[in-house]
Amino acid sequence: MSDLPKVLLLGAGGFIGANLTERLLAEGRHRVTAVDIDGEKLEGQLGHAHLSFHRQDIRDRDGSLEELVRDHDLVVDLVAMANPSLYVTNPLDVFHLNFTENLRIVEHCVQHSKRIVQFSTCEVYGRTVAGVLGEDPAERPCPFHEDSSPLIMGPVRNHRWIYASAKQLLERVLHAYGLEDRLDYTIVRPFNFIGPRIDYLPSEKSGNPRVFSHFMNALLYGTPMKLVDGGRSYRAYTHIDDAVEAIVRIVDNPGGVCRREIFNIGTPENETSIRGLAHLMRELFDEHFRCPGDPVPEIVEVSGEEFYGRGYEDCDRRIPDVSKARDLLGWGSRHDLRSVVLETMRYFVDRHRRRAES
Ligand code: UDP
């Protein structure tokens, strides 16, 4: 057991981290040190012989983070505040966690010559060019390619772009260390992963989670499904199991193919408008989960400012070009939109019913 590679998973308690931890432990080829301020999503894994869980805030300045980096073979950095509502309400916290604190992790990796798998975001692509010019959404140029697409943000006063900008700058710092041959890194740009353990429902705790949880909450409680600015933006959703499969291949890094590469991980075929997602979820809920007599939520429109506050601006369309992941990792998604949406809904419904019974 002591010969297994040691992976330090920072931010392991989040949606991606918890699913990745579970998969790495199930495969039994790694020893995992999971670090997070919250271990709730890891509950099923705690006690596993190959897992050590540290309930720790990576912002602590007690030297323990550097020691952890020094003592592992590979660092996977998932530490992030990745929620559009927070970009609008807490822009400085978003900047400091997503840039300043992540930069410390990167610098520890440089110092101790450790490979890092750095999670970034598809938000670095920003908006499509045509989206800025206000042309027809259907004509907007996509998909985005890791090494050739421009990164286009809105004006500074629309401060939601602080997250995308922080992540973009972090990527550029990694690239610069690579240019000086001081860091072995791989950057992952996730495109809207969904599945079991994603987010919380807005009825469960305060905050403003991502769209899937809002729609799910509306379906479970019969409240309106709100389409921000008409739900005209597009997203392409990826099943977390498909995403984790890609991430494990990146962790394994066969023949060093991932060295200093950026990978889009996403499912271009699973594109839908947000309006389309609302209708699909309502239809699937009706087909699979609605109890007789339960209300059918209406679909209403709200403005971005009303929903998020001032400083919001949407990413109009994001489709990944995944040819690099296919060519270098032999990876492709297996779940279509309907099945990933249904499975994620089932997770919420089951959880909701269990809670209601207890
Ligand atoms: N959105 C919506 N209704 C909601 C929550 C979000 O129409 O209740 C929209 C939001 O404006 C964006 C899309 O759904 O166009 C996806 O937002 P999400 O919060 O899931 O995060 P993102 O994909 O932008 O990271």
Largest separation between any pair of C-alpha atoms in the chain:
65
Cβ contact 231:303 at 8 Å? no
Q: Kindly list the structural domains of the chain, giving each domain's residue range(s) and its CATH number in brackets, ordered by start.
A: 80-357 (3.40.50.720)
Q: Which residues contact 296 (CB under 8 A, 6 or more apart)?
A: 222, 282, 286, 290
Q: Which atom of ligand 1 is nearest to the CA of 235?
A: 23
Burial of 292 (0-12, 13-18, 19+ CB in 10 A): exposed
Residue 310 is encoded by which pair of tokens? 């001032």
- The confidence score (pLDDT) of residue 141 equals 66
User: How many CA atoms, within 13 angstroms, populate the side-chain half-sphere of residue 189?
Assistant: 28
98 CA to centre of ligand 1 in angstroms: 20
CB-CB contact of 256 with 31 (8 Å) = no
How does strand 271-273 pair with strand 234-236?
antiparallel
Residues that are catalytic: 163
Atom of ligand 1 nearest to the CA of 212: 20
Q: Which residues line ligand 1 (CB under 6 A)?
A: 84, 192, 210-211, 214, 226-228, 231, 233, 235, 274, 314-315
Residues 6+ apart with CB under 8 A from 6: 30, 31, 33, 71, 72, 73, 74
- Residue 322: the pLDDT is 98
Q: How far apart are CA 319 and CA 189, in angstroms?
A: 12
Amino acid at 227: L
Q: Does residue 297 have a cis peptide bond before it, meaning omega lies within 30 degrees of 0?
A: no
Cα 226 from Cα 211, distance rounded (Å): 9
Ligand 1 centroid to residue 355 C-alpha, Å: 26
Burial of residue 151, with CB atoms counted within 10 A of its CB: 0-12 exposed, 13-18 middle, 19 or more buried: middle
User: Which residue's CA is minimally distant from atom 16 of ligand 1?
Assistant: 211
Give the pTM: 0.96
Cβ atoms within 10 Å, residue 321: 18
Dist. CA 56 → ligand 1 center (Å): 30
Residue 136's pLDDT is what?
59
What is the C-alpha to C-alpha distance for residues 143 and 358, in angstroms, rounded to an integer?
46
DSSP secondary structure letter of residue 92 = H
DSSP string, 238-302: EEHHHHHHHHHHHHH-GGGTTTTEEEEE--GGGEEEHHHHHHHHHHHHHHHTPPTTPPPPPEEEE
pLDDT of residue 207: 85
For each successive 10 residues of the chain (358 residues), what is the average pLDDT? 88 97 98 97 95 96 95 98 93 97 98 98 90 62 89 95 98 98 98 94 90 97 96 96 98 97 98 97 97 93 96 93 98 98 97 91
